[in-house]
Amino acid sequence: MYYQSISPIVRMGMPLLLAVILCTSCEKKTTGTGHPEDPEKAASFIPEENKKYMYTIENDGGSGSTAMQYISGSRDSSGIAVYNLHTVIEASGTSMTTDNNLFTLAGKTCTEIKVPDAWYQYVALFDQMPNIKVTKTEVFGYPAYMTMENTLKDGSIVTTDGPLQQGQRIEFTNNGVPCFMLQEILQVAGTAKVETVTVPAGSFVCNRFSYEVNTKITVKNGATQETANGNEKITIWMSHGIGMVKQQSAASLVSLVPLPTGEIKKIVTNTASTTTLQKIE
């Protein structure tokens, strides 16, 4: 959900097949709540346990991938049941896994916004660039939580609780000259409309949430400093006891790459993707 939900996103100028951070549920017309033992959970966007949810992810460039999500466990935290949403994404022969905490509180489904694993991969790759030496890294604004109002109604809110802005900063030297790269991420609150959506897995009554994620990247490479802005528009259909049914994402993604010469190369990528629930096992 920033999130992150499932979608191909670029957060640090490298392609990430992710977006998990925001999964929840909808209500299938042909089934019950899936959580009869817990009325609050039954009316939430937490997927039913002991089931697997299979998705396809189609990109505008014609390439595709698959994803599988399921609740892999739960624990008690100060009287609140916290569930782990496990996601496995397969693309081009490569597998990526993520885990995110979900819980219900005050009529909302809350999904933890955590530092993406790809951030650490990016730092490791960045440190291998010619003439680059990473001297310090830090993250800020974590943990935060994406919250979705559980009530299936027009005007239900999706927003962020906790720090409103997340980010990462790398300090490095380029040929011995001090430099830095700063990425700031801000989710813009959105609202929902109730809508029945039909996908290969069936027809579901959902909250169709629409929201945006804005990114700002600043790079100082020696005497040169550049700032660039990116934006992602996300629409996600959520149903009680199921989780995400469908997601559409359109983004303008920006990378600023420091060159050994002291220049900064700007790369802009426009992407679109659709994630669709294919079946429930």
Residue-averaged pLDDT of the chain: 84
Predicted confidence at residue 4, as pLDDT, reads: 45
pLDDT of 19 > 70? The answer is no
DSSP string, 118-171: HHHHHHHHHTTSTTEEEEEEEEES-SEEEEEE-S-STT-EEEEES-SEEEEEEE
Domain count, the chain: 1
Q: Is residue 52 part of a domain?
A: yes
Predicted confidence at residue 126, as pLDDT, reads: 84
Q: Is residue 24 part of a domain?
A: yes
As a whole number, mean pLDDT of residues 86-98 equals 87
As a whole number, mean pLDDT of residues 94-100 equals 86
Query: Residue for token digits 């191909």?
Result: 8
**Counting runs of H as helices and runs of E as strands, what totals does the chain give?**
2, 17
Highest mean pLDDT among 114-118, 133-137, 251-255: 133-137
> What's the domain range around 14?
7-280
Q: Is residue 2 part of a domain?
A: no
pLDDT of 253 > 80? The answer is yes
Distance, CA of 62 to CA of 58 (rounded, Å)? 7
Confidence class for position 42, pLDDT limits 50, 70, 90: low
pLDDT of 64 > 70? The answer is yes
Q: Is residue 215 part of a domain?
A: yes
| Cβ 202 vs Cβ 30: under 8 Å | yes
**Is 149 exposed, middle or buried, given 0-12, 13-18 or 19+ CB atoms closer than 10 A?**
buried
Predicted confidence at residue 38, as pLDDT, reads: 57
Tokens of 115: 């530092």
Q: Is residue 1 part of a domain?
A: no
Q: Is residue 170 part of a domain?
A: yes
